[in-house]
C-alpha cells in the first residue's frame, strides 16, 4: 500500500527527548523486539550480549562528527556546512536567509566574508568563504552540530562521538553506536561477536526532513560510503550481520555485490528505504528511537513492520524510554 508522510507521525511528550546521554554510555535502556515472536523485552544496553545471535557480526559506522556548525555575531548568523566542495567553497544551510541571497557577500567577522554563489530550490546555499575552513581565524566559531532538539553544550561534544570514530566527515552522529564502550565491545568479542567497521559520512540524506506528503516524492540527498576489501571479506564470512544504526544499514544495502557477496566499493548512496523494501544484507538491527515523519523511522518500519513499529513506539513511550540522539536504544531481531 502507498504510505503518506502523516502515516509516520506520532506524539512524543517533550520530557522524553533526551538532553544528555546515559553515564556510562552502555547504561542506556534497551528495548528488544523479536520479529518472529512479536515479543518486546525491556533491559539495559550493557546486557545486549544476552540477546545478540551467536557469532553475529556487528557492523558499525566509524565516521567522525566534524564541527561543521559555524556561529557568528553571538549566534545570530549561522552557516551549517553540509558539504565541502573544496577548502573554501561549501554547500550550507544558513540563518538568516536574507543575509545570503545569490550574489551577495556577507561579512561574518572582521576580514572574513562569505559570498553566496547559488541558492538551490531547497534553500541550500553554495558559498565561497574568504578563508579556508581550516584557517585559524575560523576555529573559535566552529561548534558541534547537535540536533536542534538538544540544547547546545560543547562539554558534551566528546559524547556525541562513538568510541570507534575515525575519519571526520559526518554532520551528525551515527547515534546507535554511541551506546558502546570499549569494555562492552571486548565482552562481546569474548562471546565471539566481533565489530567490523564501515564508513558513511552522515549528511542531509540521513537527517533532512521529508516535506512531500506522498513519501515516494521525497528526494534523498546522497552520502559518501566505503567498504574496504578487508571489510568485505569479513562480512562475506559472517554467519549473520547486525547493523549498528540506520547509516550502517544504508551502507550494507547500497554496496554492490557479486553473486550475492560484498565487494570493496565506495561512492555516493541516495538509497531511500521504506516499507515494502526487501533487505538483502541486514539480518538484525540496533537503532535509537527516531523523530516522527523521518526517513529513519520509515527505514525502521520497513525492517520491523509498519504496524509493529507503531506498537513498539507506543510501548517505549508508555515505559518512558528516552528518545532521539542521546536517548535509549532498541535491538530488532
pLDDT at 307: 97
pLDDT (tens digit per residue) in 134-176: 999 999 999 999 999 999 899 999 999 999 999 999 999 999 9
Phi, psi of 152 (to 5 degrees): -65, 125
Same domain, 130 and 164: no
Q: Residue 260 CA to chain centroid, in angstroms?
A: 26
Query: Domain with 84 in it: what CATH number?
Result: 2.40.10.240
Q: Which residues, given as ranges, of the chain have pLDDT below 50?
A: none
Query: What's the pLDDT score for residue 317?
Result: 98
Q: Give the whole-angstrom CA distance, residue 206 versus residue 228.
A: 22
- Overall number of domains in the chain: 2
Specify if 292 maps to a domain. Answer: yes
State the Cα–Cα distance between residues 282 and 59, nearest whole angstrom: 10
Cβ atoms of residues 108 and 124 within 8 Å: no
| CA 262/CA 210 separation, integer angstroms | 31
Instruction: Round to the nearest angstrom and report the end-to-end CA distance of the chain.
Output: 24
Within its chain, how far is the Cα of 178 from the centroid? 11
Domain shared by 174 and 312, yes or no: yes
Domain limit, last residue, from 108, 143, 178? 143
pLDDT for the residue 282: 98
Sign (positive or negative) of CA dihedral 84, 224, 267, 302? negative
Amino acid at each position: 500500500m502507498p504510505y503518506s508522510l502523516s502515516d509516520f507521525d506520532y506524539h512524543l511528550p517533550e520530557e522524553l527527548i533526551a538532553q544528555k546521554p546515559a553515564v556510562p554510555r552502555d547504561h542506556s535502556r534497551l528495548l528488544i523486539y523479536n520479529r518472529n515472536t512479536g515479543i518486546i523485552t525491556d533491559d539495559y544496553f550493557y546486557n545486549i550480549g544476552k540477546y545478540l545471535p551467536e557469532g553475529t557480526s556487528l557492523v558499525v559506522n566509524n565516521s567522525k562528527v566534524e564541527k561543521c556548525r559555524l556561529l557568528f555575531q553571538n549566534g545570530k548568523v549561522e552557516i551549517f556546512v553540509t558539504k565541502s566542495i573544496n577548502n573554501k567553497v561549501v554547500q550550507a544551510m544558513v540563518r538568516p536567509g536574507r543575509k545570503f541571497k545569490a550574489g551577495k557577500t556577507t561579512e561574518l567577522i572582521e576580514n572574513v566574508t562569505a559570498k553566496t554563489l547559488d541558492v538551490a530550490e531547497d534553500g541550500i546555499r553554495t558559498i565561497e568563504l574568504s578563508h579556508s575552513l581550516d584557517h585559524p581565524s575560523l576555529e573559535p566559531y566552529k561548534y558541534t552540530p547537535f540536533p536542534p532538539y538538544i540544547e547546545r553544550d560543547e562539554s558534551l561534544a566528546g559524547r556525541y562521538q562513538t568510541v570507534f570514530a575515525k575519519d571526520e566527515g559526518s554532520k551528525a552522529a551515527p547515534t546507535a553506536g554511541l551506546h558502546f564502550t570499549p569494555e562492552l565491545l571486548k565482552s562481546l568479542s569474548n562471546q565471539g561477536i566481533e565489530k567490523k567497521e564501515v564508513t558513511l559520512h552522515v549528511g542531509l540524506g540521513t537527517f533532512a526532513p521529508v516535506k512531500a506528503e506522498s513519501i515516494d516524492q521525497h528526494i534523498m540527498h546522497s552520502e559518501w560510503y566505503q567498504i574496504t576489501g578487508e571489510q568485505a571479506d569479513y562480512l562475506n564470512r559472517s554467519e549473520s550481520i547486525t547493523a549498528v544504526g540506520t547509516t550502517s544499514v544504508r551502507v550494507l544495502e547500497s554496496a554492490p555485490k557479486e553473486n550475492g557477496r560484498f565487494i570493496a566499493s565506495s561512492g555516493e548512496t541516495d538509497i531511500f528505504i521504506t516499507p515494502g523494501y526487501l533487505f538483502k544484507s541486514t539480518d538484525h538491527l540496533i537503532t535509537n528511537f527516531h523523530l516522527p515523519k523521518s526517513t529513519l523511522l520509515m527505514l525502521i518500519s520497513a525492517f520491523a513492520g509498519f504496524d509493529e513499529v507503531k506498537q513498539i513506539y507506543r510501548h517505549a513511550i508508555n515505559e518512558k524510554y528516552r528518545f532521539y540522539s542521546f536517548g535509549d536504544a532498541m535491538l530488532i531481531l
